Amino acid sequence: MSDTFFTASPEWTWWIVLYFFIGGIAGMAFVLASLLDLRGDPLDRPLVRLGYYVAIAGVAISGLLLTVDLQRPERFWHMLIQSNTGRPMFKAWSPMSVGAWGLTLFGACAFLAALAAFSEERPDIKILQSAPIRWLRRRGAAVGIAIAGSIFGLFLAGYTGVLLAVSNRPIWADSHFLGLLFLVSAGSTGAAALMLLSIWRRAGSPAAVSWLAWFDRRVLILELLVLIVFLVSLGPVAGVFLSWWGLLLAGAVGVGIVTPLSLVSHRAATERQLVRGASLVLFGGLLLRMAVLLSSNAIHVLGTGVTGP
Amino acid sequence: MIAEPMGFYTDTTVCIGCKACEVACKEWNQLPTSVDRLLEMSGDSYDNTRQLDGTHWRHVKFIEQFSEDRSDGRWLMMSDVCKHCATAPCLEVCPTGAIIRTEFDTVVIQSDACNGCRDCIAACPFGVIGINAASNTAEKCTLCYDRLQAGMEPACAQACPTDSIRFGPIRELKQQAEARVRQLHVLGESRARLYGADDKILGGLNSFYLLVDEPEVYGLPSAPKMPSRNLVPSSLLSTAGAAVLVLLGLVGFRKRRMDEHV
């Protein structure tokens, strides 16, 4: 039996499930928007702006969810500042410490990118045309923000799985593939979220939506492969999923990967099929995080009650 | 500066399960009997504490090994506590700096700095730490840091009527423990062994045990590890995955341009 079964559950439940889900979408929405910003064409601008808005909204909600999950929310700043010395608090070997800084820096990039996008969209608002904000829209600044934000966005999408792995809990600490799995899943859910919003808001050329769909199809296949590798890497611990949690995981695969793949696996997928497929990808991404987090949380310290001699 | 590492040596063979240590701990540290739940009887054991957590910093385990007809069996008892690991997983991951190593080489959570993120709970390989609902912070045994600073021995060790819990400099405790193992071997108890006395387990446990069965029987992991063992491989795989995602996006643009030119 794995030594991880002798540990207590941190009870990271719904707030954290939602944070992992929304944080992943925010991170990858920024990355995809940045790619369109740097390599797309002028017709993609509405979709670029949408991606930056998703990122700033997602990171704001993420910060809120993380704070609410703390047992002492008013001490959230202890993650960044040492409460007794006032100096910066940073541990390179603690994913939660690095994550707190990563989220903050990603938030800063997402804010600047969204501000520049909003000023581009609303030239009628005078304050948005001030010199500092216009500077944000200059090519050099925009490229810098896009690259820095993408690095932090990719970090945000994947560090959550690494955070779980750097523990001693069953399932989480029994595999090295959780960070990769969450990252790839954030790739599929981030693209799905952007696809849905771009269709809903009519914000983006058909070519840009096709690019997102093409990207999502390949990432879904990658996600399925990584999920299989993750389960194999768990060894006997994977037996935990021979329960209701397994049903949840199977749901994540069936609803969130296999069905969407069948809906959007061809070039001529209709808009309706794309909407259905993207919605299912999002639901599946949520199920995946529920299955991984809640299944481990449900395992409590091994007792020492009555046993055979 | 660490003058000399101090700790506990618990000889489980002389524990009688009186729970005086649990009571002394709760009294000295002003820990509530129960905060978030009613007093519950386990119903299948004399062990009603069940596990260590934020309000139970000592826990006398009752390991009841009986045959089905109860004609054969034995009770193993063990007063469990934080192991004050020489390389402590909780201290390693704590993102606020609330967990510190003291001048006695013990590990203490500073309640006024903890924000209740619970990373330490997931990191502890022994399931020792829990949230104290009274303070809403992570709490565990401090090895009576306040008493140590005043030159006193921890409350549990002082209260133990059989000297199952011994307190002192780790160096001296190891000598006592090794002598006791030799004595038990001579007396025919060949299963006697020390757990955590050497540096094989997390660099050594400043609260180590004399056991007469496998660690798992006592609810102890046989080879607990540091959480950071997964940091580099998990991070590298994620970084490689990030590169693949960006590459996929770029390849997608190439394909898009080719499609546009068709």
User: A65-96: per-residue pLDDT in tens?
Assistant: 999 999 999 999 999 999 989 999 999 999 99
What distance in Å separates residue A87's CA from the closest CA in chain B? 11
In this predicted model, what pLDDT tens digit does every residue of B199-253 receive, in sequence order? 999 999 999 999 999 999 999 999 999 999 999 999 999 999 999 999 999 999 8
CB contact at 8 A, B169 and B138 = no
Q: Which chain A residue's Cα is nearest to B111?
A: A72
Q: Does B50 sit within 8 Å of A303, measured CB to CB?
A: yes
- Minimal CA–CA distance to A32: which of B250, B244, B243, B240? B250
CB contact at 8 A, A295 and A278 = no
Helix (H) or strand (E) holding B177: helix B170-186
Strand B165-169 to strand A306-307: parallel, antiparallel, or no bridges (unpaired)? unpaired
Contacts of A210 (CB under 8 A, 6+ apart): A267, B256, B259
Per-residue pLDDT at A206: 87
In this predicted model, what pLDDT tens digit does every residue of A91-142 receive, in sequence order? 999 999 999 999 999 999 999 999 999 999 898 988 888 889 889 888 899 9
Residue A150: is its pLDDT beyond 70? Answer: yes
Contact residues on chain A for B114, CB-CB shorter than 8 A: 72, 75, 78
Could you report how far apart the first and last alpha carbons of chain B are, in Å? Answer: 74
What distance in Å separates residue A121's CA from the closest CA in chain B? 25
Encoding tokens for residue B169?
Answer: 């400099």
Per the listing, tokens 């506590």 go with B81
In this predicted model, what pLDDT tens digit does every residue of B183-211 receive, in sequence order? 999 999 999 999 999 999 999 999 999 99
Give the model's confidence band at A242: pLDDT under 50 very low, under 70 low, under 90 confident, else very high: very high
Q: Does B224 sit within 8 Å of A211, measured CB to CB?
A: no
A223-232 contacts: CB < 8 A, separation 24 or more? A223/A181, A223/A184, A223/A185, A223/A187, A223/A188, A223/A257, A224/A253, A224/A257, A224/A258, A226/A177, A226/A180, A226/A181, A226/A184, A226/B241, A227/A181, A227/A253, A227/A257, A227/A288, A229/A177, A230/A175, A230/A177, A230/A178, A230/A180, A230/A181
What distance in Å separates residue A131's CA from the closest CA in chain B? 32
**Chain B interface mutation, best of A69, A167, A222, highest count of B Cβ atoms under 10 Å:** A167
Rounded to whole angstroms, the Cα distance separating B34 from A93 reads: 35
Rounded to whole angstroms, the Cα distance separating B43 from A271 reads: 60
In this predicted model, what pLDDT tens digit does every residue of A24-34 receive, in sequence order? 999 999 999 99
Per-residue pLDDT at B69: 87
In this predicted model, what pLDDT tens digit does every residue of B100-147 receive, in sequence order? 999 999 999 999 999 999 999 999 999 999 999 999 999 999 999 999
Contact residues on chain B for A308, CB-CB shorter than 8 A: 65-68
Per-residue pLDDT at B236: 98
Q: Does B245 sit within 8 Å of A28, measured CB to CB?
A: yes
Residue B45: is its pLDDT beyond 50? Answer: yes
Q: Report B:89-118 residues touching A (Cβ under 8 A).
A: 89, 92-98, 112-118
Residue A222: is its pLDDT beyond 70? Answer: yes
| DSSP secondary structure string for all residues of chain A | --GGGGS------HHHHHHHHHHHHHHHHHHHHHHHHHHS-GGGHHHHHHHHHHHHHHHHHHHHHHHHHSSSGGGGGGGTB-TTT-SB---TT-HHHHHHHHHHHHHHHHHHHHHHHHHHH-TT-GGGGSHHHHHHTSHHHHHHHHHHHHHHHHHHHHHHHHHHHSS--TTGGG-S-HHHHHHHHHHHHHHHHHHHHHHHHT-S-HHHHHHHHHHHHHHHHHHHHHHHHHHHHTGGGGGGGSSHHHHHHHHHHIIIIIHHHHHSSSTT--HHHHHHHHHHHHHHHHHHHHHHHHHHHTPPPP---EE--
What is this structure's pTM? 0.94
Q: In whole numbers, what is the pLDDT of chain A averaged over residues?
A: 93
Sheet arrangement for strand B207-211: B165-169, B6-11, B207-211, B193-195
Look up the ipTM and state it: 0.94
Strand B6-11 to strand B207-211: parallel, antiparallel, or no bridges (unpaired)? parallel
What distance in Å separates residue A259's CA from the closest CA in chain B? 22
Q: Which chain A residue's Cα is nearest to B95?
A: A97
Give the model's confidence band at A308: pLDDT under 50 very low, under 70 low, under 90 confident, else very high: very low
Strand B137-139 to strand B130-132: parallel, antiparallel, or no bridges (unpaired)? antiparallel
Domain B6-225 has CATH 3.30.70.20: yes
Contacts of A62 (CB under 8 A, 6+ apart): A19, A22, A23, A26, A103, A156
Residue A213 sits at φ, ψ, to 5 deg, of -65, -40
What is the DSSP-derived secondary structure letter of residue B100?
E
What distance in Å separates residue A90's CA from the closest CA in chain B? 7
Contacts of B189 (CB under 8 A, 6+ apart): B13, B212
Residue A3: is its pLDDT beyond 70? Answer: yes
Helix (H) or strand (E) holding B169: strand B165-169
Share of chain A above pLDDT 70, in %: 96
Q: Does B127 sit within 8 Å of A8, measured CB to CB?
A: yes
Q: Does B118 sit within 8 Å of A10, measured CB to CB?
A: yes
What distance in Å separates residue B77's CA from the closest CA in chain A? 10
CB contact at 8 A, A40 and B83 = no
Per the listing, tokens 């009603």 go with B48
Per-residue pLDDT at A309: 44
CB contact at 8 A, B206 and B105 = yes
**Chain A interface mutation, best of B65, B231, B239, B258, highest count of A Cβ atoms under 10 Å:** B231
- Minimal CA–CA distance to B236: which of A108, A169, A179? A179
Share of chain A above pLDDT 90, in %: 80
Q: Which residues pair with B100 in a beta bridge?
A: B108
| B177 in reach of chain A (CB within 8 A) | no
Give the model's confidence band at B47: pLDDT under 50 very low, under 70 low, under 90 confident, else very high: confident
Rounded to whole angstroms, the Cα distance separating B66 from B61 reads: 16
**Chain B interface mutation, best of A2, A11, A34, A71, highest count of B Cβ atoms under 10 Å:** A71
Q: In whole numbers, what is the pLDDT of chain B averaged over residues?
A: 93
Encoding tokens for residue B179?
Answer: 């002598």
Per-residue pLDDT at A272: 87
Task: Determine the 3-state secondary structure of B48 from DSSP.
Answer: coil
Q: Which chain A residue's Cα is nearest to B67?
A: A308
Helix (H) or strand (E) holding B208: strand B207-211
Per-residue pLDDT at B2: 58
Give the model's confidence band at A170: pLDDT under 50 very low, under 70 low, under 90 confident, else very high: very high
Kindly list the structural domains of chain A, giving each domain's residue range(s) and its CATH number in brackets, ordered by start: 3-297 (1.20.1630.10)
Q: Does A159 sit within 8 Å of B238, measured CB to CB?
A: yes
